[in-house]
Amino acid sequence: MKLKTRKKITVNDKFQKNYTYELSEPIGRNFHPEFKPELTPKEMLELGVFGGKYMTDCKKEFPKTWFIHAKLSPRRHDDTLNYFHKHASQPLTVWEEKGWINENNDPRGWFQWYCRYYMGRRLPDEDERQIKRWKAIRRHTAQIKKNCKAKDLTCRPGQRQALLHWSYDARRI
């Protein structure tokens, strides 16, 4: 199912002014066949990701329902809001230095890309790049399976938190 009319979104937040994109797919549908996230952006925000700091100034861009039970911290990063209570993020400056940020589209990085992709935005080259990065993170699931008893959530909590940040449900491993 394609959208009959493409909805335009204009973003004005701390990172972007008058950035516009179009939604060409229905929300949460028609993903690339190799991209199978285990959590929606709403679920990720409710579970506690990025110390609650990530989405505090851009709520207007996304559905209000995503934020009803989201664990957010407008003032500062707070690891107690993370599901596994572990710091599992690198500063944005590190992401920029490594070339992982596409400033033109998603200056906040992968999760911002995922939220917009989930909403229905498609940018073929950027989508391919981000899906490749998402697939590479899966290696952490193998390390948890190798070194932990099944569903022992106390084993490797930092890696589990990092997986949550990438939409892998680390509670199931």
Listed by start position, the domains of the chain span 7-165
* Tokens encoding 74: 């407008």
Chain center to CA of 79:
16
Q: What's the confidence (pLDDT) of residue 163?
A: 97
| Other residues' Cβ atoms within 10 Å of the Cβ of residue 153 | 13
Question: Is pTM, for the whole model, over 0.85?
Answer: yes
| pLDDT tens, residue order, the chain (173 aa) | 666 678 999 999 999 999 999 999 999 999 999 999 999 999 999 999 999 988 888 899 999 999 999 999 988 999 999 999 999 887 777 877 887 777 778 998 999 999 999 999 999 999 999 999 999 999 999 999 999 999 999 999 999 999 999 999 999 99
Q: What's the confidence (pLDDT) of residue 1?
A: 63
Q: What's the confidence (pLDDT) of residue 74?
A: 87
H helix runs in 72-168, sequence order: 92-97, 110-119, 124-137, 139-147, 157-165
